[in-house]
Structure 1
């Protein structure tokens, strides 16, 4: 049975961004493929020597580079969105404190965000879509809920749910937004501290990963036949070593990738 093709969620306006999907620009894709291909070819050549198999390793590395690059740029975009969303909440809270209602607060926040991030930034596009929707008599609860659903981020989804409950029950919206902003700021600070602590382990991981690719060429220059030769035994040993290194890198990344 064929799986259904995923249909991107463009939101209520049909022009929204589905943040679960990321398409690299041609420059990003070319850079990721080039880095992965060069890494694959170099690693294979160091272990087994250059040749046609090295070209196959370069192709596999390029494919892995594109996959990893997509994940990297997607995570960077989502992190950027979260940071900008915090500034949106701060601007809305400031306007509410000045006595403005929700629509006017969002319009004021849009003006502020354009000055900070520019018209093409993620948060300006999303805030502009929310403001346009409200001008067309769409409910702000639905608009924030739509944004939260497309973002796929727990913090934004929690705010949208809290906003909906507070707006319906007539709660103090200013206090809710201020508290949400404070929680987001504290969470970001904690994540930053965790990242600094985990960076030591990541640096050690990459150092240990690179060492074999430095030691092997050094041994080859010393005329070590067991390293430079490619008979059945040495190929098997090198292949097992390469698998162990790849497994260690994968396990190390899982251990040092700490998320809240």
Structure 2
């Protein structure tokens, strides 16, 4: 578990540094922008680790309850039943078993003649898992009222198992949709990359390529079977609205805002949705502002110096996708 966390931190920090070097090629900006980005990435990874910890603990708790019920049914006391269940968990999950460690802590506390109900409540509070908290409440009530602990433990294990299976099915469906979205984003990123290179080199973008990206998004949406009224209202209409507003602003400002920039931004909103569109647009504007400040303050460029926006739009879109992958 710890080795995996170390690898996650190294990978996350490496991704931040590589992205900044590719787009800024400046050690100063890598340090100034990379440090807070690495900190934010660590916080996201920490939430991810906590979710994985709770999920694994819940899986092991179901197995632990089954072993606990079998030991109680064989006539073991609650302390000995916890020890037998802990040994079974060590066989199944090995030394990295989360619940085995928790059971060991509980056994040490029981040796100090602490009430088993209180020890179970403390374990439930540490776990942060709702199923474990519910079992602790039922367990406390059964101990005080003289209920059948064997049947209660078995019923709790069966109920948790059913919830886990439902959660697995939901996760499988979500993972399938996420994979479809990632495949679509590969094509969008490739087209965006070509447009960004053209914008940097020639300050122009080949418009058929931009319209081709819109056709690609539409075709992929139709093929995936997700062309619904909800998607039209939350993605396609906002995308068209963004493109129309920015294109009109480009005409009114006589090209101060690139026409291709507005159309591409609208296409990306169609692909990602309005909520994520606001996210990657905010990232793009932040990166643009940071580079503009660097050019004016350190390189003494004029305030009217024009810089291409599509590379920053691509960087903002990649940052948004990276954030989604981290939290998923």
Mark yes or no: TM-score above 0.5.
Answer: yes
CA distance in 2, matches of 1:243, 1:151: 37
**C-alpha contact (below 8 Å) 2:54/2:128 kept by paired residues:** no
Q: How many residues align?
A: 228
2:61 alignment partner, one of 70, 85, 90: 85
Gaps spanning 5+ residues in structure 2: where?
206-290, 292-304
Structure-2 change in CA distance of 1:86 and 1:50 (3 Å):
same
Q: Which residue of 2 aligns with 1:232?
A: 306
Gaps spanning 5+ residues in structure 1: where?
1-23
Structure-2 change in CA distance of 1:149 and 1:184 (3 Å):
same
CA distance in 2, matches of 1:58, 1:212: 25
| Structure with more relative contact order (C-alpha pairs < 8 Å, separation 6 or more) | 1
Structure-2 change in CA distance of 1:129 and 1:248 (3 Å):
closer
CA distance in 2, matches of 1:212, 1:55: 30
Q: Which residue of 2 aligns with 1:51?
A: 26
Structure showing the higher helix proportion among its residues? 2
- 2:201 maps to 1:127: no
Task: Give how far 1:70 is off.
Answer: 2.1
TM-score normalised by structure 2 residue count: 0.58
SS in 2 for 1:234: coil
Structure-2 change in CA distance of 1:40 and 1:119 (3 Å):
closer
TM-score normalised by structure 1 residue count: 0.72
Structure-2 change in CA distance of 1:57 and 1:39 (3 Å):
farther
**C-alpha contact (below 8 Å) 1:209/1:249 kept by paired residues:** no
Q: Which residue of 1 aligns with 2:166?
A: 190
* Residues 121-151 of structure 1 deviation map (CA, whole Å, 9 limit, x = unaligned): 3211211222232232211100100100111
Q: Which residue of 2 aligns with 1:139?
A: 115
CA distance in 2, matches of 1:225, 1:114: 64
**C-alpha contact (below 8 Å) 1:33/1:63 kept by paired residues:** no
Q: Larger C-alpha radius of gyration, 1 or 2?
A: 2
